[in-house]
Amino acid sequence: MKFAPVSLLALGALLPGLGSAQLSAKVGPSTTAAAKAAKKTCNITDYGAEAGATGDIGAALKSAWNACKTGGEILNPRENGVSGTIYRTGTAGGHMIIVQKSTDVEFYSGNSKGAMQGYGYEFHKQGTGVYGPRLLRFVSVTDFSVHDMALVDSPAFHFIMDTVTNGEVYNMIVRGGNRGGLDGFNLMAAKNVHVHDVAVTNKDECVTVKNKSSNVLIENVFCNWSGGCAIGSLGADTAISDIHYRNVYTSNSNQMMMIKNNGGDGVFQNATFENFIGHGNAYSLKIDAAWAGQSKAAGDGVEYRNLTFSNWKGTAANGASRGPVVALCAAAVPCENIDVSGINIWTEAGSSIVDRCNNAFGKGHCLRAGSGTGSGTGSAE
C-alpha cells in the first residue's frame, strides 16, 4: 500500500488516573479498542484504499479518520488496527502520519504484524545529508498508546512524541539505516509517558528525552548498533525533571547514555538511570556540556543536578581512551549531586580504564566531593 503524508485530527475528553514509578498519572487510552469498535468501525477499504505495495491509502485513511474521529475504530485493512504494512513510495517531506490535537487514541497492530516501511535507502543513496519524511509523529495528543508495530527504514526520524501527555508506547521495534539523523524514539515536551519493551537498531539515538519533559519512565530497552539513549541535546530554557530509565541493554553503540548541551540555561534534575548493561560501546556514561554536535546557545550552560546511576555493568570498547565515566560539566554551571558509584564497567581493549571529570561534583569514580562552588578537573584509573 502506498501512503501519502496526511494529518489526522480528533478531539475528545481527558480522564485522569493513577500511575507508578516516575509516572504521575494513568497512561494510555481512556477507553478500550473494543468500546471504540462497538461505537463505530471505519474500514479504509470502504473509503477507496488500494491494495498492494504500490496502492494508495492516504486519502482513504484520512477519510476513515474523519468518519470515526468522534469515536470509533479504523481498520487497515481487515483486522483491528494496522494488520499489514503501510508503504511509502512518494517523495514528499514532512511525515507519513501525523496524529495531532487528539485524545483517547490507540495506534496499534491487532496481529503484531503491522509495520510502516519508509524505504529510506532511496533517499540516503543519493548522498550524505539527503533525507525524506519522518514516519510517525504525535503532536498535542493526550491519553494514547502506540504498540505492536515495526517502524522500518525511515528516511528521517522514526517516531516523535511532541507535547504529549499520558502516553504508553510498547512492544515495538525500529530498524533504521546506518547513518545519523534516523532517531528511534524522541520525546519532546512529554509529560507522564511510559515507553517500554522496545528495540532499536539504527546509527543514531535510541530512546531520547528532550526539553520540557517530565515524569517519564523508560524501561526494558534494547539499543543495538545504535547511537544509544540520550538526554538532549539541550539549550535555552531547559526544564526536565523526574526521568527514570531502567533495564537498558546497549550493544555496539556510541553510548549507553549521553547527557548533552552546548551553552544554554535551565536545569535537568531528579533522574535515575538503573540496571544498564553494555558491551562494545564507545562511551558508557558521557555528560558533555560542550557537545560539538550542536551550535553553542546563549547562556553559561545547563545545570545538571540530582542524577543517580546505579547497577551499571558490562564492558566498554576501550576504557582507557573513553572511560566508563566521562563527566565534562561547565565551569560556570558545575554538575552537582551526581552519583556514579553504581557504575562498574571494564574494558574490552587493554587492561585499564581512565575516567574524566571536569567541574563534576557528587559520588563515585572521578567526581569531586562537595558542592559545585569551585571548578576542577580530575581523572581516575
pLDDT in tens for each of the 381 residues of the chain? 333 333 333 333 333 333 356 899 999 999 999 999 999 999 998 998 877 777 778 899 899 999 999 999 998 864 445 557 899 878 889 999 999 999 999 999 988 989 999 999 999 999 999 999 999 999 999 999 999 999 999 999 999 999 999 999 999 999 999 999 999 999 999 999 999 999 999 999 999 999 999 999 999 999 999 999 999 999 999 999 999 999 999 999 999 999 999 999 999 999 999 999 999 999 999 999 999 999 999 999 999 999 999 999 999 999 999 999 999 999 999 999 999 999 999 999 999 999 999 999 999 999 999 887 544 455 555
Q: Is 266 left (phi over 0), alpha (psi -120 to 50) or beta?
A: left
In a domain, 77, yes or no: no
Give catalytic status of residue 279 as yes or no: yes
* 244 in active site: no
Query: Which residue matches cell numbers 496524529?
Result: 99
Residue 344 lies in a domain: yes
* Separation CA 332–CA 334 (nearest Å): 6
From the candidates 153, 204, 288, 355, which is the catalytic residue?
A: 204
Rounded to whole angstroms, the Cα distance separating 249 from 231 reads: 17
Give the pLDDT score at 176: 98
Assigned domain for 361 exists: yes
Cell numbers for 317: 570498547
Q: What is the 3-state secondary structure (H, E, C) of 139-167?
A: EEEEEEEEEEEEEECCCCCCEEEECCEEE
Cα separation, 375 vs 361, in Å, equals 9
Catalytic-labelled residue, pool 46, 162, 197, 279: 279
CA dist 158 and 183 (Å) reads: 6
Q: Is residue 44 one of the residues assigned to a domain?
A: no
Choose among 68, 83, 82: nearest CA to 36.
Answer: 68
141, part of any domain: yes
- Reading phi first (left if > 0) and then psi (alpha if -120 to 50, else beta), residue 256 is in alpha
pLDDT given for residue 155 in this prediction = 98
**3-class secondary-structure state, position 123:** helix
Q: Number of folded domains in the chain?
A: 1
Vertex 220: Cα angle to 200 and 256 (nearest 5):
60
**Is residue 125, in this structure, part of any structural domain at all?**
yes
For 282-363, where are the E strands, in sequence order?
Answer: 283-288, 303-316, 325-328, 335-339, 343-347, 355-358, 360-363
Fill in the DSSP letter of residue 280: E
Give strand pairing partners of 136.
97, 159
DSSP H/E element including 34: helix 33-39
Dihedral sign for Cα atoms in the order 120, 189, 219, 13: negative
State the Cα–Cα distance between residues 138 and 11, nearest whole angstrom.
14
Task: Report yes or no: 151 and 159 within 8 Å, Cβ to Cβ.
Answer: yes
Q: What pLDDT sits at residue 21?
A: 62
Q: 49: which DSSP letter?
A: P
State whether residue 260 is helix, strand or coil: strand
Query: Considering the domain boundaries, does residue 49 fall inside one?
Result: no
Q: Which amino acid is at 180?
A: G
Q: What's residue 76's pLDDT?
A: 80
Evaluated on CA atoms 76, 78, 81, 83, the torsion sign reads negative
Q: What is the pLDDT of residue 379?
A: 58
Confidence (pLDDT) at 91: 86
| Within-domain flag for 64 | no
- In DSSP terms, 254 is beta-bridged to none
Q: Which domain holds residue 174?
A: 84-380
The CATH code of the domain that includes 262 is: 2.160.20.10
The CA-CA-CA angle for residues 304, 347, 179, to 5°, reads: 65
